[in-house]
Amino acid sequence: MNLRNMLSCILTLGGCAQMVDSSHNQVHSLIRERHSARAMSGEKISTDELMTLFKAAGLAQSSYNDQPWRFIYAERETPHWQPMLDLLVPFNQSWAAKGAVLIAVISHNNFEHNNQFSRTHSFDTGAAMENLALQGISMGFIVHGMAGFDYDKARTVLNVPDDYTVEAMFVVGKPGNVKDLPAELQSHEKRSERKDVKDLISEGTFKIKK
Ligand SMILES: Cc1cc2nc3c(=O)[nH]c(=O)nc-3n(C[C@H](O)[C@H](O)[C@H](O)COP(=O)(O)O)c2cc1C
């Protein structure tokens, strides 16, 4: 552990932050390389590329293979773009406006086979979204999640039925110039730290520090 990490452990009263470093070398490079950048060029991505992202999402595992994820998308330069961009908080609009596609991630609360509540509808949908993110990174795109949007307005504007949950929004785009980002965001355009894995796991029963 380097000096910076040691300091971070002390300052967070025992919870250690860790850089993605050589200790992660055994982790697949795609997973190591994924991070949520913001500098996008405003270029479009092709419909084929977009469909590949959704196909990757669709290959995720899910309870009863129910596949509860749903995606509503808006490509830039279409009439759907602005209403979806308007759902975002101003901070997110300030950089996501240069994306190529906005995606609202929705999940179906109930199983299709019996219409009973599915405990894992959000969990399954998160797995699908990570597939989409990793596929996007592998194709050289930026894929960035957002909870900073008006969930109630999204339900109304996107016409989401009551038995579906609005989970999150994502923007996908081609990488752009960091210097074109709002000044205060430029220094954030780097990989973020992680909690030390040792603080997140325990063998047998829950013995993890709260
Ligand atoms: C569901 C979800 C919501 C997020 N909401 C926002 C957001 O509103 N604005 C933002 O700039 N980043 C947002 N992020 C990005 C996170 O801040 C980012 O994933 C986290 O800091 C870890 O960084 P990394 O993805 O680069 O590893 C969100 C990510 C997820 C998965």
Residue 184 burial (10 A CB sphere; 0-12, 13-18, 19+) = exposed
**Residue 3 reports pLDDT greater than 80:** no
Domains of the chain: 41-177 (3.40.109.10)
**pLDDT in the model for residue 13:** 46
Nearest CA to ligand 1 atom 9: 146
Instruction: Kindly report, residue by residue over 45-55, the tens digit of the pLDDT.
Output: 999 999 999 99
For residue 93 and ligand 1, the question of a CB distance below 6 A is answered with no
**pLDDT in the model for residue 191:** 85
Give dist(CA 207, CA 210) in Å, integer.
9
Mean pLDDT throughout 165-172? Answer: 98
Nearest CA to ligand 1 atom 7: 146
pTM for the predicted model, two decimal places: 0.93
Nearest CA to ligand 1 atom 10: 146
Residue 100 CA to ligand 1 centre (angstroms): 18
Instruction: Kindly report, residue by residue over 106-156, the tens digit of the pLDDT.
Output: 999 999 999 999 999 999 999 999 999 999 999 999 999 999 999 999 999
Instruction: Kindly report, residue by residue over 11-68, the tens digit of the pLDDT.
Output: 444 456 778 888 899 999 999 989 999 999 999 999 999 999 999 999 999 999 999 9
Give dist(CA 91, CA 94) in Å, integer.
5
Residue 20 CA to ligand 1 centre (angstroms): 16
